[in-house]
């Protein structure tokens, strides 16, 4: 049990609990460790419920059933995931998009989870697992497996699949995709030969750093998030910047089938004249990089792609930055105790100036959708 944020879990004896209406009690046999569990313990998620029993990759067998549960039975093996309950009444629930529920309950965060001998769960959010596979092997499927599968479905039925990063979700997706007969390409940090070898052992046709890749065939789509704004440095002319961005678009064009799409998200300059960007960059926002203007992106892509869609999510990003700043300030004593002098002040200044830049429309968070000529 987590009794205080940022402290080790404590073994705690609790009274035996009984399931309420619509609930089941599960005798836990395995529970995986997800990065989100570490965020819970470290207090990095808002509105924590303390004390709490973490753990949301839960596998076990039902040993008690509450009133109204009819489709599960005693002794049945089930899995309990992160999403532990939804309201069923908000607009998202009514659209069958329960993962966006306005009033959710999360296993191991706002209700007790699986780091225990037994746990209580909403029967509607427990998955029958059958008898194939070991409890330990099935546990990661309750989180990494779920989000990996969702991403795989959204990606479509292309025969060639690129996985950027090869962690908990990707290593499961790679096995599923290989079983489906797809070719898997695993992109890791440059020089990470251990992870690259692991990817190949799970069926990846190719594994390496992104700069090392030379495709044997064309892709059905490419997604680029948070990269383009770091391609150029301060001091370059507009023409020099466009030339660098153009090489990126040409490379994407060469990797894509005709008519295929490129989804691009990056930070861009907003209402700041080109001769005024330098002082802003020098103030710790992006001191070593120089983001593009929207016109730079469109000019650089004009010969290779047709723009289909663009949106500016500046206001959404302001809210994200404000939450980051709030959490940073709340943890100031801990940060200063574990880091060198000036680290807290640097990031506090960085977030304040970033918020100011986005609020004043000096900076934008833009999403583009392009189609290859």
CA distance 190 to 252: 19
90 and 41 fall within a common domain: yes
Q: Return all residues near 277 (Cβ < 8 A) that are at least 6 apart.
A: 234, 269, 290
364 shares a domain with 253 = yes
- Does 373 lie in the same domain as 224? yes
In a domain, 194, yes or no: yes
* Final residue of a structural domain among 138, 172, 198: 138
**365 CA to centre of own chain:** 17
Identify whether 88 is part of a domain: yes
pTM: predicted TM-score of the whole model, two decimal places: 0.61
**122 & 195 share domain:** no
- Helix 168-179 with 193-201: angle, nearest 10 deg: 30
Measured distance CA(229)–CA(244) in Å, rounded: 11
Host H or E run for residue 257: strand 256-269
Tell me whether residue 291 is exposed, middle or buried, using C-beta atoms within 10 angstroms of its C-beta: 0 to 12, 13 to 18, 19 or more: buried
pLDDT number for residue 340: 80
Bridge partners of 60, per DSSP, are 28, 78
**pLDDT on residue 285:** 59
Please give the pLDDT value at position 339: 82
Range of the domain at 306: 220-373
125 and 38 both lie in a single domain? yes
Both tokens of 41, joined, read 């313990």
Below-50 pLDDT ranges, the chain:
282
CB-CB contact of 23 with 121 (8 Å): yes
Residue 15 located in a structural domain? no
* 14, 24, 50, 64, 106 from 17: Cα distances, Å: 8, 10, 18, 10, 19
Task: Please indicate, yes or no, whether residues 93 and 108 belong to a single structural domain of this protein.
Answer: yes
Same domain for 81 and 29? yes
- Residue 43 domain-assigned? yes
Whichever domain contains 95, its CATH number is 3.90.180.10
CATH of the domain at 162: 3.40.50.720
Q: 217, 234, 257 — which closes off a domain?
A: 217
Looking at the structure, tell me whether residues 246 and 363 fall in a common domain.
yes
The answer to whether the beta carbons of residues 119 and 28 sit under 8 Å apart is yes
Question: Sheet harboring 206-208: ordered strands across?
Answer: 160-164, 183-187, 206-208
Q: 363-372 and 305-312 as β-strands: parallel, antiparallel, unpaired?
A: antiparallel
**Do 149 and 182 reside in the same domain of the chain?**
yes
Q: Could you report how far apart the first and last alpha carbons of the chain are, in Å?
A: 57
> 77: which 2 tokens?
């093996």
**Residue 157: what pLDDT?**
82
Same domain, 296 and 206: no
- The tally of domains found in the chain comes to 3
Does a structural domain hold residue 40? yes
Q: Is the dihedral of CA 128, 131, 133, 139 positive or negative?
A: positive
Place of tokens 């999510």: 313
Please check whether residues 53 and 149 belong to one and the same domain.
no
Q: What CATH number is attached to the domain comprising 293?
A: 3.40.50.150
Q: What are phi and psi of 55, to 5 degrees?
A: 105, 120
The answer to whether residue 91 sits within a structural domain is yes
Domain boundary residue, one of 165, 186, 217 = 217
Shared-domain flag, residues 129 and 152: no
**Is 243 among the domain residues?**
yes
State how far the Cα of 56 lies from the Cα of 38, in Å rounded to an integer: 12
Residues in the chain: 373
What is residue 286's predicted lDDT score, i.e. its pLDDT? 62
Mean pLDDT in the chain? 89
60 close to 144: Cβ distance less than 8 angstroms: no
pLDDT for 282 equals 47
* Residue 9 belongs to some domain of the structure: no
């Amino acid at each position: 049990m987590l009794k205080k944020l940022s402290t080790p879990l404590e073994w705690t004896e609790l009274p035996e609990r009984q399931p309420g209406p619509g609930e089941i009690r599960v005798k836990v046999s395995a529970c995986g460790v997800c990065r989100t569990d570490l965020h819970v313990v470290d207090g990095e998620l808002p509105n924590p419920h303390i004390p709490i029993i973490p753990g949301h990759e839960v596998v076990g067998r039902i040993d008690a059933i509450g009133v109204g549960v009819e489709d599960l039975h005693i002794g049945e093996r089930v899995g309990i995931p992160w999403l532990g309950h939804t309201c069923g009444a908000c607009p998202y629930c009514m659209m069958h998009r329960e993962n966006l529920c306005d009033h959710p309950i999360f296993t191991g965060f706002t209700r007790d989870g699986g780091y225990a001998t037994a746990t209580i769960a909403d029967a509607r959010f427990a998955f029958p697992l059958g008898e194939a596979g070991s409890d330990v092997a099935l546990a990661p499927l309750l989180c990494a497996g779920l989000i990996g599968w969702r991403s795989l479905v959204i990606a479509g039925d292309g025969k060639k699949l690129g996985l950027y990063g090869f962690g908990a979700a990707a290593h499961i997706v790679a096995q599923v995709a290989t079983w489906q007969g797809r070719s898997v390409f695993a992109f890791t940090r440059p020089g990470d030969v251990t992870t690259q070898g692991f990817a190949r052992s799970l069926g990846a046709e190719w594994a390496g750093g992104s700069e090392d890749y030379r495709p044997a065939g064309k892709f059905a789509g490419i997604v680029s998030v948070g990269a383009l704004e770091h391609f150029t440095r301060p001091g370059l002319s507009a023409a020099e910047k466009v030339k660098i961005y153009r090489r990126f678009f040409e490379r994407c064009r060469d990797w894509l089938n005709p008519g295929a799409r490129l989804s691009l998200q990056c930070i861009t300059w907003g209402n700041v004249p080109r001769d005024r960007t330098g002082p802003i960059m020098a103030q710790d926002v992006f001191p070593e990089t120089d983001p593009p203007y929207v016109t730079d992106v469109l000019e650089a892509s004009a010969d290779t792609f047709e723009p289909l869609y663009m949106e500016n999510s500046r206001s959404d990003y302001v809210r994200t930055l404000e939450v980051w700043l709030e959490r940073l300030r709340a943890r100031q004593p801990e940060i200063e105790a574990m880091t060198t002098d000036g680290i807290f002040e640097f990031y506090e200044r960085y977030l304040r100036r970033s918020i100011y830049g986005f609020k004043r429309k000096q900076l934008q968070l833009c999403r583009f959708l392009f189609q290859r000529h």
